[in-house]
Chains A and B, each alone.
Chain A
Amino acid sequence: GAGVSQSPSNKVTEKGKDVELRCDPISGHTALYWYRQRLGQGLEFLIYFQGNSAPDKSGLPSDRFSAERTGESVSTLTIQRTQQEDSAVYLCASSRGVLAGVDTQYFGPGTRLTVL
């Protein structure tokens, strides 16, 4: 069954290390989104893929953040040289949609990242 899955569910890392977060969208969903949720705050949009391309990268907080998607399926969010302010829950969502804002987004369970 096939919801959106993310791995790892929890990641603790030391400041300065690189981390990779993975998202497996629902099969057949062409749109994929990454969001960040910091402690006590609302959701923050990071990046959106339509197929394998990312028309909107405006939400990435710095050049330490990058994301890619291959085969219109799995996506990886990479954070280089992590900082303590990167600690958050990182959520992935996917939708069927050719056009964002039309189809329902289905959210994964999130990856909780803690940078010590």
Chain B
Amino acid sequence: GNSVTQMEGPVTLSEEAFLTINCTYTATGYPSLFWYVQYPGEGLQLLLKATKADDKGSNKGFEATYRKETTSFHLEKGSVQVSDSAVYFCAFMNRDDKIIFGKGTRLHILP
């Protein structure tokens, strides 16, 4: 069935380190792919998205590329900051508009 698998956390990095959070999906057809972020004390908010193969979503220095051949949408950032500490959710949405979330990856950035 449809599912999203993302790397388990918590992930702890030092400031200015390179970040990768892996995400792979199982879905029929050509879903839209999303990364959401939840900062402490807040609700989920959309970080970036990609709607077709080879699209790259980007926002706030984060990037993710829609790789259809590997059914992946890995989140990357070249130099993380303490303010990036949050929980990150990978998700996809099929044509039925039902959104499927991964379990979330908690990220801690140390100063």
Which residues of A come within 8 Å of B, CB atoms? 33, 35, 37, 39-40, 42-48, 55-56, 59, 89, 91, 99-102, 104-105, 107, 110
Contact = CB atoms under 8 A, between A and B. Distances in A.
A91 B104 CA distance: 17
B30 interface: no
A6 to B, nearest CB: 13
Contacts of B45: 45
A9 to B, nearest CB: 12
B61 interface: no
B97 A43 contact: no
25 contacts: A33-B43, A33-B44, A35-B43, A35-B44, A37-B99, A40-B32, A42-B46, A42-B49, A42-B93, A42-B99, A43-B36, A43-B44, A43-B46, A43-B99, A44-B46, A45-B43, A47-B43, A48-B42, A89-B98, A99-B40, A99-B41, A100-B43, A102-B87, A104-B104, A110-B98
Given A42-B36, A43-B36, A48-B43, A105 B104 contact: yes
Interface of B: 32, 34, 36, 38-46, 49, 86-87, 91, 93, 97-99, 101, 103-104, 106
A76 B43 CA distance: 17
- A interface, over-half SS: strand
Contacts of B103: 104
Given A42-B34, A42-B36, A43-B36, A100 B42 contact: yes
Nearest to A45: B43
Nearest to B51: A40
Given A45-B43, A48-B42, A102 B106 contact: yes
Contacts of A99: 40-41
Contacts of B49: 42
B40 A56 contact: no
A102 B43 contact: no
A40 to B, nearest CB: 8
Contacts of B91: 43
A108 to B, nearest CB: 12
